[in-house]
Amino acid sequence: MRSLIDIQDLTPTEIDELISVANDIIANPKKYSEVCRGKKLATLFFEPSTRTRLSFEAAMYELGGNVMSVSSGSSSSASKGESVADTAKTVSCYADIIAMRHPKEGAPLVAAMNASIPVINAGDGGHNHPTQTLTDLLTISREKGRLSDLTVGFCGDLKFGRTVHSLISALSRYTGIKIVLISPEELKVPNYITDDVLDRNGIAYEETTDLITALPSLDILYMTRVQRERFFNEEDYLRLKDSYILTPDKLRHARKDLSIMHPLPRVNEIAVAIDDDPRACYFKQVYNGKIVRMALIMKLLEVSV
């Protein structure tokens, strides 16, 4: 039985397979409409979510399966003090697979160690978000036709942004990757990303505070929201929240074939006027997120067409 807690739990070959199943689902959705008949997904979300929870649920419905949902900590026994381990043992009696989001880093790992069914990490604190990474990799592969030989800029809250940490970790296994880290000094990526991921894998990277000078070299610009809920004080958040706002004017410095990505939700980081620019990919990411989660659920439940 397999769980997905960290993107490194999947080999690059397995990621290629998920991308190829996802592409087949896009081409032939009917083929997959009954493969999870009789199976149940439990979504346990102890933090807010729109896309991740609904995309997991839509994915399971589109595979012909069923869904049970805890959509906030306050509506579950977690609010009575139940441990993650006990919740995982309990839900294992009802469901076939769990998708869990939790504010505590490592909570989905604890769930996986105690569950008797596969557990998918749907975001743990400021740590990891491996299914957003699968979404991002599917999007990059569909937009660029490759996952190697790319210059990828990450912009915004690189300290608390878990989607950034997981995607850098995933990209560090491909060749010809260059990473440009664009953030305020206070929101730089954690040291474990520069030391244990980038340096250890010999990935070329630079850190800068300046989006405009970084833009011309980028194949992909991955914008992120400043993660208000992870700040210790509101004043710091208010000072940093509008550090980077991508506007049509700034985009004139970018390449014609740039792909602009964002895990969403967007607050202020991308002007709405950019949504109609052919380089904007963030709503395509939303669609790809449902599709790649269909492929992942099938893999972890070991079902095939």
Nearer to ligand NCD, 172 or 285 (CB): 285
Annotation says 129 is catalytic: yes
Number of residues located near ligand NCD, criterion CB under 6 A: 11
**CB proximity list for 88: less than 8 A, separation 6 or greater:** 98, 110, 111, 112, 114, 115, 119
The catalytic residue among 127, 129, 159, 299 is 129
What would the two tokens of residue 185 be? Answer: 């000094």
User: Does position 259 bind ligand NCD by CB under 6 A?
Assistant: no
What would the two tokens of residue 43 be? Answer: 């979504």
Rounded Cα–Cα distance for residues 305 and 299 (Å): 11
Closest approach, Cβ 56 to ligand NCD, in A, equals: 11
Residue type, 88: A
Annotation says 51 is catalytic: yes
Q: Quick one: which of 39, 162, 290, 299 contacts ligand NCD (CB under 6 A)?
A: 162
Nearer to ligand NCD, 35 or 67 (CB): 67
Nearer to ligand NCD, 51 or 188 (CB): 51
Q: How far is CA 125 from CA 92, 107, 133, 173, 179, in A?
A: 23, 9, 15, 24, 23
Angle, vertex CA 180, rays to CA 176 and CA 186, nearest 5: 150
Annotation says 37 is catalytic: no
User: Does position 51 bind ligand NCD by CB under 6 A?
Assistant: yes
Annotation says 247 is catalytic: no
Strands, DSSP E only, in 25-128?
40-45, 66-70, 97-102, 119-124
Residues 74-133 that bind ligand NCD (CB under 6 A): 123, 129, 132
Closest approach, Cβ 305 to ligand NCD, in A, equals: 28
The catalytic residue among 2, 40, 51, 250 is 51
Annotation says 255 is catalytic: no
DSSP state of 46: S
64: left (phi over 0), alpha (psi -120 to 50) or beta: left
User: Does position 290 bind ligand NCD by CB under 6 A?
Assistant: no
The residue ranges that bind ligand NCD (CB under 6 A) are 51-52, 123, 129, 132, 162-163, 225, 263-265
Q: What is the set of active-site residues?
A: 51-52, 80, 101, 129
